[in-house]
Amino acid sequence: PLTLEVKRQRRAQKHTPARRLTQEQIRPGTPEPVEGRVHVHVQTELYLEEISDRIIEVDGECQTDEFLDRPPTPLFIPAKSGKDVATQIEKGELFDFDIEVKPILEVLVGKTVEQALLEVMEEEELSQLWSHQRAFAELRNAEFAELQRLEEQDRRIREEKERRRLEHLEKLRKQKETAEKIAARAFAQRYLADLIPSVFNNLHDSGFFYDPIERDIETEFLPWLMSEVEEELQKKVLGRTMLDSLIRMVVEKRLDEFSRPPPAAQTKAPADEPGATDGAPKMSGEEDAADQPVAEKEETDQPVAEEEAS
């Protein structure tokens, strides 16, 4: 296994340079820069390094010993060497001023005149350049103003064109909307021609259209009448209930009195029998009186039945 792993590593190391060369050949290179430009290397690594044109400067201080006062350094005068020799030259032996100065003077004057002419020509040329520059600036300003005027005119024309286009589109939209409304109105009229009578008939049958007097009677008068009738009936029922309770109380009281046994003195005395006989008519009268409300009750029941029937 170790030998196989070593062989595989050697084979991979052999193929790595060939693969790298192939990738470099396949990878497209950077084209040559155009005229007047050069390529500049930039950092493309993951960890960038900050590059600064100005070198970082740090101020440092140190203290030196004070210098002691000393006298000024004297001037250096070299020592004299050799021998002094003198030569006497008479006037006119080496240089004749009138003859020798003429060409020098001609050269100086010529050069001065030439320099003056050059300066005058340069000033004239500069003045012409300035005049041409002023004319060019005026022409450029005029062309720039004309360009601005044309741009403004073009902008106004474009805005006017866009506004006209929008107005035309709005006009077409309104015409289309008007045509649709007219068509819808005609369709609605034709569709609702037979629908309106049936709708009104249905509404009339449903009770949406009514007689105000009849509606007033149904909503105002009849509820008031029924409330009054109900109040009267409640009063009559209350009266009958009270009458029934009174009759019941009287009947119960009489029943208690008649069910009570008579005393012994009254049974022995024959003179008390007419009193007992007197009580019988009284009882019959009371029974008649007790029966009378019943008749009145029967009489009062008849109107109630009539009212309930009504």
Give pLDDT tens digits for 27-57. Answer: 666 778 888 888 887 767 776 667 777 777 8
Asked which of 9-18, 200-209, 256-265, 270-279 is least confident by mean pLDDT, the reply is: 270-279
Question: Which SS3 state, helix, strand or coil, does residue 92 take?
Answer: coil
Q: How confident is the model at residue 273 (pLDDT cuts 50, 70, 90)?
A: very low
Nearest CA to 298 out of 229, 232, 243 is that of 243
Nearest CA to 212 out of 223, 220, 200 is that of 220
Highest mean pLDDT of the ranges 14-18, 64-68, 147-151, 188-192:
147-151
Asked which of 134-143, 172-181, 222-231, 296-305 is least confident by mean pLDDT, the reply is: 296-305
With 60 as the cut, is the pLDDT of residue 2 above it?
no
Query: How confident is the model at residue 154, as a pLDDT?
Result: 95
175 against 14, higher pLDDT = 175
Q: How confident is the model at residue 13 (pLDDT cuts 50, 70, 90)?
A: confident
Query: How confident is the model at residue 310, as a pLDDT?
Result: 44
211 against 264, higher pLDDT = 211
Query: How confident is the model at residue 25, as a pLDDT?
Result: 65
Give pLDDT tens digits for 74-96. Answer: 888 888 888 888 888 777 677 77
Q: Which residues have C-beta within 8 Å of that of residue 232, sequence separation ≥ 6? A: 307
**Treating both helix axes as pointing N-terminal to C-terminal, what angle do 273-309 and 222-259 enclose, rounded to 10 degrees?**
160
Query: How confident is the model at residue 264, as a pLDDT?
Result: 65
Q: Which residues have C-beta within 8 Å of that of residue 49, sequence separation ≥ 6? A: 43
36 against 277, higher pLDDT = 36
Q: What is the dihedral of CA 172, 177, 182, 187, to 10 degrees?
A: 130
With 70 as the cut, is the pLDDT of residue 73 above it?
yes
Query: How confident is the model at residue 242, as a pLDDT?
Result: 93
Give pLDDT tens digits for 293-302. Answer: 444 444 444 4
CA distances from 45 to 29, 42, 53, 292 (A): 18, 9, 20, 129
The per-residue b/e assignment along 261-291, b for 16 or more CB within 10 angstroms, e otherwise, is eeeeeeeeeeeeeeeeeeeeeeeeeeeeeee
pTM given for the model: 0.26
Query: How confident is the model at residue 127, as a pLDDT?
Result: 94
CA distances from 92 to 85, 103, 105 (A): 22, 18, 20
24 against 278, higher pLDDT = 24
32 against 15, higher pLDDT = 32
Query: How confident is the model at residue 89, as a pLDDT?
Result: 78
Query: How confident is the model at residue 150, as a pLDDT?
Result: 95
Q: How confident is the model at residue 268 (pLDDT cuts 50, 70, 90)?
A: low
Q: How confident is the model at residue 265 (pLDDT cuts 50, 70, 90)?
A: low
Q: Compute the distance between CA of residue 307 and CA of residue 304 in angstroms, rounded to an integer.
A: 5
How confident is the model over 60-73, as a mean pLDDT? 77
Query: How confident is the model at residue 26, as a pLDDT?
Result: 66
How confident is the model over 183-209, as a mean pLDDT? 81
With 80 as the cut, is the pLDDT of residue 267 above it?
no
